Structure 1
Amino acid sequence: MTFKYAKHALLLATVLSTACGGETAETKPPAVAPPKPAPATPPAAEADPLGPRPNVDAPPPFTPPAPTVFRTANGMTVWLLERHALPMVAIDVALPIGSTSDPAGEGGLAWATASMLDEGAGSRGALDLARAIDQLGATLGATAGTDRSGVSLFVLKRNLGPAFDLLADVVTRPRFDATEWKRVHELWTNDLKSRTREPRAVASVVASAALYGADQPYGHPVSGTLASAAKIDLARVKRFYQANWRPDQATLVAVGDVTRAELTAALDKAFAGWKAPAGPAAKVAPLAEPKGARGRLIVVDRADAPQSQITIVRPGPTVADPDAVVAGRANIALGGSFTSRLNLDLREEHGWTYGAGSRVSTMRQAGTIGLSSAVHTENTGDAVKAMLNDAEVYATKGLTPAEVDLTRMMARVDVVQAYEHVASTATLLGNDAALGLPATYEAEAALRRDSATKADLDRVAQRYFHPKDAIVVIVGPQAKVLSQLAQVEGLPKPEFFDAEGNPRAAK
C-alpha cells in the first residue's frame, strides 16, 4: 500500500471510530461536573382570611356530676341525677346483697331469688307482667352479682307512671309461684351444665375457688354450682327474700328526665307499703384470709379441646382502696386495650390467639387481677411463659411515657361512655350504692384516675401486677399441655380440678 492510500485508510478509520462512539486520546472531551439543581423555593403560604389560628389548650377531663341524695319515709335511700335532654328515664333499685350473702353450701341463692322477682308480681302472672312491660315499650329485669342485687327499669318519660308501678310490684310484691319456680330451676340447672362446657367460664370458676377458697364468700360462682342448686328450693328463696330485700337496705337510683317532685310522688304512691321487717338487716361476714397457697398451677382436663384457656389470677385492690382506680388505668396498657402489651405479643407478634387481655375486678372485701387468653393447644407453654414475662416486665420496669399518655386518654373515654346513656349511668351509680360508696365517688375517682403520674402508675403496677404469687389455671387437653408446662421455668407442680372448682386426683 502506498503512503497516499495508507493516509486515506487512517482517516477513514478515525471517522468510523468517532461515528460509532469511540474516542481517541486526542478527541476525548474533558469531564465536566453536571450543574447543581437550583434549590427549590417553597411556595408562599396563603394568608388565612380569618387571621392567625389561636392556640387551643387540651380539653379538660370530664368530671361526672354527683346525684342528689335523699331518703323516703320508709327508709329507702334515693339518688337522683336529672338529665332532661331526652325524654328517657332509667331506674336501678340496688341492694348490698349478692353471692357473698349466700349461706354456706347454698351458692346461687341470691341469684335464684333475683331471678324469681320478675316471674310474676302483684296481680300479674309471669306472662301478664311481660306483656304489660312490652306494651309500655319498657325494659325491666332483675339480677344478682357478687356484692349486689337489683332491679332495673328503662322507659320513656311519658310511660314512667305505669312502668314505675310495675317496678314496685317486682321489688316489693313478687309472687314466687311454684310453677314458675319449677321452670326457673330447670333452666338454672341447664345453664350450670352448659357452663361446665365453656372453657372460659370454667377457668373463672376454678380461679376463684383456688384464689379465695371454695368455702369463702368470693370463692363460689354467683350462680352457684350443680351441687348447691340441687339443695335450694322455693321455701329457701322466699326466706332469703324476706330477710334481705328490705327498704332500709335499698338505694333507688333514678337518671334522666324526671324531677325530684315527680320522683317523690311516684315513690310515695308505689313504694309506701314496703316496710322493713323487725330487727336489723343481716350483715355479710368478713372475708377470712384465703386458705389457698399462692403460686399454683391448676389444670382442668378437656381432652378434645383444640385450644387451651389460660387464666392467671392474683389478689387485687378492694373497691374502697385508693389505688383501685389507678390500677384500672394501669391495666389498660398491660391488657385492657387492643394495643396492650399482652395482645400485641400473643396475637400480633406470635399469632397464638385471637386475643389476650387483662382486667381488674374490685369488690367490697376483695379484688382480683386477671390475665386471660385462649391459645392454640400446641402453643400453651409458650403462651404461659410470655404472659408471665409480660406481666413481670411491666411490673418491674413500669409504663413508657407513651403508655402514660395513652392510658389517660382511654380512661377519659371510658368515663364519658359510662355517662352517655341514662341506663348505663344508673347501673354504674347503682353499683356504687350497693358497694357502700358515696354519691360523689365517680367524680372523685375520675380526678384521681386522671391525675395519676407515671410514678403512681409504676407503683401500682409493681404492687398488683407482678406474677410472683399468681395462680395459673389451664383448661385444655391435659395429655398435650403437661409436657409443655413442665418446660416453663418457675411453675410449680400441677394440681388437677374439675369444671366445678373441686380438686380431683391426677389421671
Structure 2
Amino acid sequence: MKSFLTSLFLTLSLASPLRAEVDIQEVTSPNGVTAWLVEEHSIPFTAIEIWFRGGARLDAEGKRGASYLMTGLLEEGAGELDAQGFAEAAEELATSFSYNVYDDTLTVSAQFLTENRDEAVALLRSSLIEPRFDEDAVERVRGQVESIIRSDAKTPNTIASKKLNELAWGDHPYATSISGTLESVAALTRDDLIEAKDRVLTLDRVYVGAVGDITPDALGELVDELLAGLPETGPDLPAEAVYGLPKGGETVVEFETPQSVALFAHEGIKRDDPDFFPAYVLNQVLGGGGFASILMEEVREKRGLTYGVSSFLAPRDQGALIMGQVASANDRIAEAIEVIREVWADVAENGVAEQQLEDAKTFLTGAYPLRFDGNANIAGIMVGMQAEDLPIDYIATRNDKVNAVTMDDIKRVAERLLRPEDLHFVIVGKPEGLEKSE
C-alpha cells in the first residue's frame, strides 16, 4: 500500500505543468488566519503546507532536543488511534503527512484527494491537537534519535558543522544541534514533549499555503478547522544571535580518516538585506555554480585538490553566514585552504568577469521554473515567501531582480560581503601542515 501511495502522490504532484507564473490568492479564514492559495481544479488533489516560525530554537532551557523528538512523534498516534492505527488510517484515506523541524521553523506537509479531504484534515488535526505521546512510541523514537546522535558523532561533516556553529553562535540555540545530546534526550519526559508542542505550534507564528482542488472559502474553513485549539501565542523568540567565529585561522578537530573535511565561513547577509540578490548572484559565480564556479575551477580543475568545493549563503532568522565546504587528502588540505583564501581575496578585490555574471544570471533565471514541478513544491515555496515577508507577486518578479544585478552591484557587494581576513576554517581529519586545535 505504501508504494502505491508514493506512486499516486508522485503522479498527482507532477500532473501540473512546470511554471514560474502562478496565480496566488490571499485568503483570510473566518478566524483571521491568512493563507495563500493557488487553485488547480484539473485534478482532484490538494497539497497544503503549514510552517510555524520558531522551530527548535524555542526549546526550553535545559531541554535541547525536545522539539526534535516531539516532531518525530506527531504521527505516532493521536486521539483514539495508536501509532499503528494512525498509519493505517492514513493509508486507507490515501493521504500523506510529513513533519519536520529546523532551527527556525517546524513544517507540516499534507497531500490528500478531494473525496477524502474532510477525513484527512480531521486526521491531520488530531496529530497537531492531541498527539498521544504513548510510552512505547516515545521510547522507540527516542532510540532512533539517540542512534542519529551517535552516528553524527562519527561523521566528519557533522562534526565540522557542530564545531563551526558552536564557535559562531556562542550561547544561542544555533550553537547546538537541534537533535540535542544523548544526555538531554534521555532526560526528556512526556510532559517536556507536551510543553515543546505548545511552545512551537502556536497561531501567532503560523503560515499556510495550499495548491490544488480547493476554493478560497473551502480553504478558509479547512484552516480554521485544522488549527482550532492550538495556543494563541508562544514564548518570545531568543535574542538575536551574536556572531563570534574567530577572525581568520583554522580550528582542527582530529579524526582518524585519510581525507580531511573542512567547513569555512564568516558573517554573511540577511535575506531582507537590499544587497541580498547581488550577493546571491555573486555566490553563484564564486562557489554555488558547480563546475562553472571560480572555486571549482581553481581548486579542482587547475590543481586537482578535491572532487568538490562549494560556497553558499546561510541566512537564518537570527544570524547569517556565508559558508563553504571542501574535502581533500590529509596531505593536500592545507594547499586547498590556501587556494580558497586566495580566491576569496581576489573576488573581494576584483569582482568577477562580465561573462561569468551573465552566465550566472542565465542559469539562475532558467532554472527557476524547475522548482515549480508540483502542487506540494509550489505550496512550500508560497509558505517560504510568507515566512520571509516577501510580496505575493515575488514569483513573477524574482527573475527580474536577478537580471537587474549589474557589474557595479557585484563589485560593491563583493567588497562588502567577502572578508578574506575573517574567513575561518574548521577541519576534521588528520591534516598535514595545520596545527591541531583539539
Q: TM-score, normalised by structure 1?
A: 0.77
User: In structure 2, what is the Cα distance between the partners aligned to 1:392 and 1:289?
Assistant: 25
1:261 equivalent to 2:210? Answer no
User: In structure 2, what is the Cα distance between the partners aligned to 1:426 and 1:114?
Assistant: 20
CA distances 1:181-212 after superposition (whole Å, capped 9, x unpaired): 11111110110110111111111111111111
2:413 is matched with which residue?
A: 460
User: In structure 1, what is the Cα distance between the partners aligned to 2:129 and 2:25?
Assistant: 24
CA distances 1:201-252 after superposition (whole Å, capped 9, x unpaired): 1111111111111x21321222223343234322111112123312333222
* Aligned with 2:358 (options 393, 398, 405): 405
Shift of 1:123: 2.5
1:240 is matched with which residue?
A: 196
Shift of 1:153: 1.0
**Structure 1 436/285 Cα, relative in aligned 2: closer, same or farther at 3 Å?**
farther
CA distances 1:446-492 after superposition (whole Å, capped 9, x unpaired): 43233111111222222223322022100102xxx2x4236xxxxxx
CA distances 1:305-351 after superposition (whole Å, capped 9, x unpaired): 01100110111112222222332222111111222112222232222
* Aligned with 1:226 (options 179, 182, 185): 182
**Partner of 1:289: helix, strand, or coil?**
coil
User: In structure 1, what is the Cα distance between the partners aligned to 2:342 and 2:396?
Assistant: 35
**Structure 1 88/374 Cα, relative in aligned 2: closer, same or farther at 3 Å?**
farther
CA distances 1:33-54 after superposition (whole Å, capped 9, x unpaired): xxxxxxxxxxxxxxxxxxxxxx
Q: Which runs of 5+ in 1 are unaligned?
A: 1-61, 487-493, 497-507
**Structure 1 273/193 Cα, relative in aligned 2: closer, same or farther at 3 Å?**
same
Contact 1:74–1:247 (CA<8 Å) still a contact in 2? Answer: no
Contact 2:341–2:423 (CA<8 Å) still a contact in 1? Answer: no
**Structure 1 261/75 Cα, relative in aligned 2: closer, same or farther at 3 Å?**
closer
* Aligned with 2:269 (options 314, 317, 342): 317
1:77-92 aligned at under 5 Å gives the runs: 77-92=34-49
2:147 is matched with which residue?
A: 190
**Partner of 2:173: helix, strand, or coil?**
coil
Shift of 1:163: 2.3
* Aligned with 2:226 (options 271, 274, 283): 271
**Structure 1 272/343 Cα, relative in aligned 2: closer, same or farther at 3 Å?**
closer
User: In structure 2, what is the Cα distance between the partners aligned to 1:397 and 1:315?
Assistant: 20
Shift of 1:436: 4.7
1:100 is matched with which residue?
A: 57
**Structure 1 84/460 Cα, relative in aligned 2: closer, same or farther at 3 Å?**
farther
Shift of 1:441: 4.5
1:421-436 aligned at under 5 Å gives the runs: 421-436=374-389
Shift of 1:66: 6.3
Shift of 1:292: 4.3
2:15 is matched with which residue?
A: none
1:216 equivalent to 2:172? Answer yes
Shift of 1:81: 2.0
**Partner of 1:485: helix, strand, or coil?**
coil
User: In structure 1, what is the Cα distance between the partners aligned to 2:26 and 2:142?
Assistant: 38
2:109 is matched with which residue?
A: 152
**Structure 1 450/114 Cα, relative in aligned 2: closer, same or farther at 3 Å?**
farther
**Bigger Cα displacement from structure 2, 118-127 vs 102-111:** 102-111
**Structure 1 352/157 Cα, relative in aligned 2: closer, same or farther at 3 Å?**
farther
Shift of 1:116: 1.6
**Structure 1 76/120 Cα, relative in aligned 2: closer, same or farther at 3 Å?**
farther
Mark the structure with the bigger radius of gyration.
1
- Whichever residue aligns with residue 309 of structure 1, its letter is V
* Aligned with 1:484 (options 408, 433, 436): 433
User: In structure 2, what is the Cα distance between the partners aligned to 1:164 and 1:314?
Assistant: 44
1:207 is matched with which residue?
A: 164
- Whichever residue aligns with residue 363 of structure 1, its letter is R
**Partner of 1:495: helix, strand, or coil?**
coil
Contact 1:66–1:439 (CA<8 Å) still a contact in 2? Answer: no
User: In structure 2, what is the Cα distance between the partners aligned to 1:381 and 1:275?
Assistant: 53
* Aligned with 1:469 (options 408, 412, 422): 422
1:495 equivalent to 2:437? Answer yes
User: In structure 2, what is the Cα distance between the partners aligned to 1:272 and 1:286?
Assistant: 27
2:8 is matched with which residue?
A: none
Shift of 1:302: 0.7
**Structure 1 369/476 Cα, relative in aligned 2: closer, same or farther at 3 Å?**
same
**Partner of 1:174: helix, strand, or coil?**
coil
**Partner of 1:141: helix, strand, or coil?**
strand
**Partner of 1:353: helix, strand, or coil?**
coil
2:287 is matched with which residue?
A: 335
User: In structure 2, what is the Cα distance between the partners aligned to 1:414 and 1:173?
Assistant: 41
**Partner of 1:469: helix, strand, or coil?**
coil
Q: TM-score, normalised by structure 2?
A: 0.88
- Whichever residue aligns with residue 332 of structure 2, its letter is N
User: In structure 2, what is the Cα distance between the partners aligned to 1:377 and 1:206?
Assistant: 19
1:289 equivalent to 2:245? Answer no
Shift of 1:86: 4.5
Question: RCO (CA 8 Å, sep 6+): is it higher in 1 or 2?
Answer: 2
Contact 1:74–1:275 (CA<8 Å) still a contact in 2? Answer: no
Contact 2:352–2:410 (CA<8 Å) still a contact in 1? Answer: yes
Contact 2:78–2:132 (CA<8 Å) still a contact in 1? Answer: yes
Shift of 1:370: 0.9
1:503 is matched with which residue?
A: none
Shift of 1:272: 6.8
**Structure 1 460/107 Cα, relative in aligned 2: closer, same or farther at 3 Å?**
farther
User: In structure 2, what is the Cα distance between the partners aligned to 1:103 and 1:436?
Assistant: 27
- Whichever residue aligns with residue 341 of structure 1, its letter is I
Aligned residue-pair number: 419
**Bigger Cα displacement from structure 2, 376-385 vs 255-264:** 255-264
1:391 is matched with which residue?
A: 344
User: In structure 2, what is the Cα distance between the partners aligned to 1:156 and 1:413?
Assistant: 32
The CA RMSD over aligned residues, in Å, is 2.3
1:500 is matched with which residue?
A: none
- Whichever residue aligns with residue 221 of structure 1, its letter is S
